[in-house]
Amino acid sequence: MIKQITVISGKGGTGKTTLTAAFATLACNALIADCDVDAANLHLILDPVLTDRLDFYGMKVAAIDRDKCCACGLCREGCRFGAITEGFVIDIHACEGCGVCELVCPEGAIVMKDHKAGEIYRSITRFGPFVHARLGIGEDTGGKLVSMVRKNAMEMAKMHGNELIIIDGPPGIGCSVIASISGVDLVFIVTEPSVSAIHDLERVIEVADHFRIKAVVCINRYDVNAEKTAHIEEYCRKKGVDVAGKLPLSDVPTKAMLEGRTVIEYKDDVFAGRVQDIWYRVHKELI
Amino acid sequence: MKIAVASGKGGTGKTTVAVNMAVSLGNAQLLDCDVEEPNCNLFLGHPLQKVRDVGIQIPSISRDKCNSCRKCAEACRFNALAVLPTGIMLFPQLCHGCGACSLVCPQDAISETTHVIGTVERSASSARRVELYQGVLNIGEPMASPVIRALKQYIDDSRTVILDSPPGTSCPVISSITGTDYCILVTEPTPFGLHDLLLAVELVKELQIPYGVIINRHGTGDDSVEGYCYENNIPVLMKIPYDRRITELYSEGIPFVLQMPHWKDQFLNLFIKLQVLTGRY
Ligand code: SF4
Ligand code: SF4
């Protein structure tokens, strides 16, 4: 059985990708998948060698044949997403691809066309195989692309005989997050002691709960606010969620990033040691 | 003037900029469009009241009229309808509320009901000079954009409006920033920050919204973001230095302009700069 762990945070910028990259260094025989398709960053550290590139088609979008269009306006009336302008032009950012306009058009002037919404990349890195993706600007099929990344990751993991898939998840609690945690064995939540991060942590724990997925928490930059850190620990205890570890405020993650390395590869044994301890606890949860 | 605050990468300081600017201006509307994780009010602490539920119209299928012809399930492009031996089943989380199913049903078996996916809330007291509106997406609901669109109906065009956008460059960001007069992109001076800034720049260019950059945690990382901005003639509107005090105030939920008043002037300056850049001054 291939195990899967997703690293999420609710709030962005808490150190999710830094920790995913560190876990990639520490895990043996893992595949890494970047499901933060909206702002993928992991490749900047993993330095992948591309082996395969796949087009991702999202929802189709409507296209109006000007020659057939009689400007009756029925499509515009029928479209609930305001995607058809006064001049009968489709706003491709607003179009959700529902096909209602095609259904109501009496002239058969509207067809639903394939629409490339992003790309998926398969590659090899110094830590093992890696799948990442790029969602086109303004697309709304993030959830679907995340599912495709995970499907590719699963196929590749089987091919390479990997035992673990480490997933870097997106921020938030919406469709991309739901798609990146569904069916995984463990959700690893990176938070920090600030009012915003705590608020988002609570929402994200609820999402994990909602889908009945076990979660553990890591408190990053715990020393910025001792009181809030205590609050998080207390909250997690009440919720029955383990705190897998705490990391201090440090310039190591940024320095390592500037060198294109993970914090484990960077020459700072103290910080790396702390991350290692967290990884051992997480690893225990997984097996 | 409507000013959007956005960023490709999460956690760069969008909310910090939006809130501190609103607090510095005093008289402004602040719209928290990050409906998946609305955080602005953590810094304002306003008592809130609900102004409306946000729903989408989902089908409700009459078992008596339905003869399981499957036409609705075939018409639904979101796979929200499944034909089971017991009849048609709807997965409300997948439904986009497009109405295709009711259009095609030959038995007239489909009517529509409202499925609530979130709410819009506002500051309960209008005595406050910063008037906050926020959208909240319910847990387990995937679609943020309808909540953002509902929220934006409360924009008061006669006032200065600051919109705190969600992170990224996907659909909810477009819903948040379309129609604004200027977009501030907040970034941090790191390789991640630069990479995601490039994506955000692509987005605002496509939407043809004038934009500039605020560099947060200036002094950490490197100068690649600044270099990029200068090379591409993108105005760097402000640099907020990395300062442990700012981090600590942030962690407590205190807008830092309240404790570091010289920053208030900086934000007022910023506002004037934006007025100049948009030809309003
Ligand atoms: S496909 Fe649906 S969303 Fe797109 S233009 Fe037609 S009716 Fe509107
Ligand atoms: S309203 Fe549209 S999305 Fe919802 S079930 Fe009907 S066809 Fe599918």
pLDDT in tens, B22-42: 999 999 999 999 998 899 999
A221 phi-psi bin (left φ>0, alpha ψ -120 to 50, beta other): left
3-state secondary structure of B247: helix
- Ligand 1, residues A60, A61, A65, A69: which to mutate, most atoms within 8 A of Cβ? A61
d(CA A10, CA A132) in angstroms, rounded, equals 20
A64 lines ligand 1 (CB under 6 A): no
Task: Find the Cα–Cα–Cα–Cα dihedral B120, B123, B126, B129, rounded to 10°.
Answer: -120
Query: Which residue minimizes the CA distance to atom 4 of ligand 2?
Result: B95
State the pTM of this model: 0.89
Q: What angle do CA A101, A79, A105 make, to 5 degrees?
A: 25
pLDDT of the residue at A103? 96
Name B5's bridge partners: B164, B184
Query: Which residue minimizes the CA distance to atom 2 of ligand 2?
Result: B98
d(CA A72, CA A106) in angstroms, rounded, equals 9
Q: Do A208 and A237 touch, CB atoms closer than 8 A?
A: no
Q: Which of the four pLDDT bands, split at 50, 70 and 90, describes residue B127?
A: low
What is A59-113's CATH topology?
A: Alpha-Beta Plaits (3.30.70)
Mutation to test the A interface, candidates B192, B218, B220, B252, most A Cβ within 10 Å? B192
What are the boundaries of each domain within chain A?
Answer: 3-56+127-286, 59-113
d(CA B19, CA B17) in angstroms, rounded, equals 6
Does pLDDT of B87 surpass 90? no
A169 lines ligand 1 (CB under 6 A): no
Q: Confirm or reject contact between B133 and chain A (CB < 8 A).
A: no
Q: Which of the four pLDDT bands, split at 50, 70 and 90, describes residue A233?
A: very high
Query: Which residue minimizes the CA distance to atom 8 of ligand 2?
Result: B76
Residue written as tokens 């942030």? Answer: B250
Please answer yes or no on whether A13 and B252 come within 8 Å at the CB atom. no
Q: Which of the four pLDDT bands, split at 50, 70 and 90, describes residue B171?
A: confident
ipTM: 0.85
Q: Ligand 1 mean position to A59 CA, how many Å? A: 11
Contacts of A98 in chain B (CB under 8 A): 77-78, 96, 98-100
Output phi, psi for B53, to 5 deg: -90, 150
Q: Ligand 2 mean position to A125 CA, how many Å? A: 42
Q: What is the pLDDT of residues A112-158, one digit of tens each?
A: 999 999 999 999 999 999 999 999 888 877 889 999 999 999 999 99
pLDDT of the residue at A102? 96
Does pLDDT of B250 surpass 80? yes
Q: Within 13 Å and on the Cβ side, how many CA atoms surround A242?
A: 13
DSSP category for residue A169 = P
Q: Do A216 and A282 touch, CB atoms closer than 8 A?
A: yes
Query: Which top CATH class is A3-56+127-286?
Result: alpha beta
How many H helices and E strands in chain A? 10, 11
AA letter at A62? A
Q: What atom of ligand 1 comes closest to residue A94's alpha carbon?
A: 3
Mutation to test the B interface, candidates A18, A20, A38, A213, most B Cβ within 10 Å? A38
pLDDT of the residue at A92? 87
Q: What percent of chain B has pLDDT over 70?
A: 99
Short-list B117, B196, B112, B185, CA closest to B149: B117
Please answer yes or no on whether B10 and A11 come within 8 Å at the CB atom. yes
Quickly list DSSP for B134-189.
Answer: EEEEPTT----HHHHHHHHTT--TTS-EEEEPPSSSSHHHHHHHTT-SEEEEEE-S
- In order of start, what are the domains of chain B with their CATH numbers? 2-54+122-277 (3.40.50.300), 63-108 (3.30.70.20)
Name every residue whose Cβ is closer than 8 Å to that of residue A179 and which is 6 or more positions away in sequence: A35, A142, A143, A144, A146, A147, A150
A157 vs chain B: nearest CA distance in angstroms? 27
Q: Rg of the Cα trace of chain B?
A: 22
Q: Do B68 and B88 touch, CB atoms closer than 8 A?
A: yes
Output phi, psi for A114, to 5 deg: -60, 145
Q: Which ligand is nearest to the CA of A97?
A: 1
d(CA A244, CA A228) in angstroms, rounded, equals 17
